[in-house]
Structure 1
């Protein structure tokens, strides 16, 4: 009876926690994103500190490296986007032609005349253009503000990480400090390895998609390769979205069925290589979660925090599993989240390189 009561209380806690996450999303999203990203730079920050640099300057350099990396990606996208814009007139004509064909098909199949369809479209968009522009401007301003907040939070997390760790340890009895310190280290390690492996994976996907789309003959192939790689940040859904956008762009560019088929073949080949070759080597079993709860976490993350929730869902669930595995009354939940047949952590390419340098 006592165990049942404890389980009910735990489930109630989770329900209240998710409700709090939903209503506090504007505050928590940049804070959580900064916390997860700062974990990636802890080792680099520690390296600079061991070279005699103060923690504040080391943290600042890590933020600058992050900004440079993001700026390079944006620059690459903007260069490719400028080449894509040269073909916008032709794409616009083809899209208009496709819409006219669609209207004709609806007229012949359903019996709705083209004039009635056009009137319905105009009625649906009347008076909304100004609102859409204002909404876009407000959204852009929100992104800029949140970006600045994330950078500030990252700097503070990196420079105050020792203070935050001591605070967490002070919340627990001294006899549990050693175990708690190990849990903190393991949760940070999960985020580090997952995100660093994901970054390496995205870079390789850029190359593979770029080669595949170029062979197929997609215009601005590098742009769509970078887009498909970046969308890999959102598991399962991102790669499908990127490929779908590429197929639509190929159709708008006037590509035939062979080109669309080539894009789909490229997608399946890249996914095969990614799933069965690259992921075991580069990422390994860092986030030991079964597929059911991975998908559930992504869907729930989107409901609670939108796109940011989808991006953060997997690393946060991986950290939650480590916490559950470390405390007896939460271990059943850790078992439920984990894989049906647990595997020993595989040696990733990063671990292999570390072993080589450690032997020297």
Structure 2
């Protein structure tokens, strides 16, 4: 004989309703935060970049303060001002170089608009003449000038973003002397404030080390691509080298785009499939050795992030903040990994984000950092 299942009583319904309500509130809050992040992306991207650059100031200031002029050591205040000026000048120089190269690429791209469709379509000649003609027609229907003008307008906003980043770094720099006091008052417990400070120092050390290694690898890769482009007498050799340097800060995808870019420029200019194929394989080999062999060796175990996690972070921040989000995806993931490693409820997420499933432990947090970003012993008098 069949019986109806027992009905849940009121005490069982209340926890279920509370969980549903909490879940709904979390989803709504996430949607609101995501909406605000998209709408305020210009300011938030500038702020995130400023925070990352501000993290560099501690090591730069310490490095400058340890230098001596004869028997005298550079005062900490003077070292702080020098570090701030160095970051500002470096940002302005980098921005001017990027804008100049973008202008060169846009002008050259306009001169390639007539022969580029036929050159690109020839890559698909193995599909048949009809397919090649269709590809040429499709490429010729694209209004290249409108896309180039859009790219030029977006590049012009880079100067505004650079100025805003410098202002943010300056104000963060002015507030740094009160940070420990604010942290202690905010947490309310000196021991807990000290632990939070160690977590922040761990984040700064790892992000700085990532940026240092990535800059070195990207610079070497860009220089090698420049030499390759110069050897084959490509018109945009300098621009390709600089763009390769920049794109290598985008994990995984950046190297692929850079390799495709030099192959495309070579094919449009030289119109020789054999030469294009040779350039493609050589540049791909350079990217593979530097990005997949040397880069992981220099990064070390402390920065071994999950490849799948990097792709997810890249996709998420790329969808939210566009191309700038792709550049910031790995530093943000490093910060998230360190924070989750020291929050018990979030440690499973840290295990998933780390490559070997071995995130930072509490013992690692208590280990003093003996060397700075430049490899100098910070304990040295």
TM category, shorter: 0.7 to 0.9
Kept after mapping to 2: 8 A contact 1:94/1:254? no
Summarize deviations over 1:66-106 as a string: whole Å, max 9, x none: 23651685499489x49x978985x455336548979x999
Provide the secondary structure at the position in 1 that maps to 2:283: helix
Aligned counterparts of 2:285 and 2:152: Cα–Cα separation in 1: 39
Q: Residues 88-142 of structure 1, C-alpha deviation per residue, up to 9 Å, x if partnerless?
A: 85x455336548979x99996379999xx59x93xx75xx978985x56753453
Give me the whole-angstrom Cα distance separating, in 2, the residues matched to 1:59 and 1:332: 38
Equivalent position to 2:87, from 47, 58, 63: 63
Distance 1:76 1:141 in 2: 11
**2:167 aligns to what?**
152
Equivalent residue for 1:292, pick from 308, 314, 337: 308
Structure of greater relative contact order (alpha carbons < 8 Å, 6+ residues apart)? 1
Task: Tell me: CA distance 1:201–1:130, structure 2 relative to 1, closer, same or farther (3 Å).
Answer: closer
Check 1:18–1:88 CA distance in 2 against 1; reply closer, same or farther (3 A cut): closer
Match of 1:43 in 2: 59
Instruction: Name which of 297, 305, 317 aligns with 2:321.
Output: 305
Q: Is the 8 A contact 1:287 1:315 kept in 2?
A: no
For the structure 1 residues 342 and 10, does the alpha-carbon distance in structure 2 shift closer, same or farther, using more than 3 Å as the test? farther
CA distance in 1, matches of 2:46, 2:334: 19
C-alpha root-mean-square deviation of aligned residues, in Å? Answer: 4.4
Q: Is the contact between residue 325 and residue 331 of structure 1 (CA under 8 Å) also seen in structure 2?
A: yes
Structure 1 residues 213 and 242, CA, compared in 2 at 3 Å: closer, same or farther? same
SS in 2 for 1:342: coil
In the TM superposition, residue 48 of structure 1 has moved relative to its aligned partner by 3.9
C-alpha separation in 1, matches of 2:373 and 2:146: 56
* Aligned 8 A contact 2:61 2:76 in 1: no
Q: Does structure 1 conserve the Cα–Cα contact (< 8 Å) formed by 2:41 and 2:321?
A: yes
1:178 and 2:201 equivalent? no
What residue is the counterpart of 1:255 in the other structure? 271
CA distance in 1, matches of 2:225, 2:177: 42
Q: TM-score, normalised by structure 2?
A: 0.73
Distance 1:184 1:14 in 2: 25
Alpha-carbon deviation of 1:280?
Answer: 3.4
CA distance 1:217–1:45, shift in 2 (3 Å): same
Superposition map of 1:84-95 within 5 A = 91=112, 94-95=115-116
Aligned residues: 345
Q: 1:109 maps to which residue?
A: 130
Q: Where does residue 163 of structure 1 map in the other structure?
A: 178
Runs (5+) with no aligned partner, structure 2:
1-14, 67-73, 365-370
Structure 1, gaps ≥5 residues long:
none
C-alpha distance in 2 between matches for 1:167 and 1:213? 52
- CA distance in 2 between partners of 1:136 and 1:111 (Å): 28
- Cα offset, 1:191, TM superposition: 1.5
Alignment TM-score, normalising by the size of structure 1: 0.77
The 8 Å contact of residues 50 and 169 in structure 2, kept in 1 or not, is answered as: yes
The more displaced of 283-292 and 183-192 is 283-292
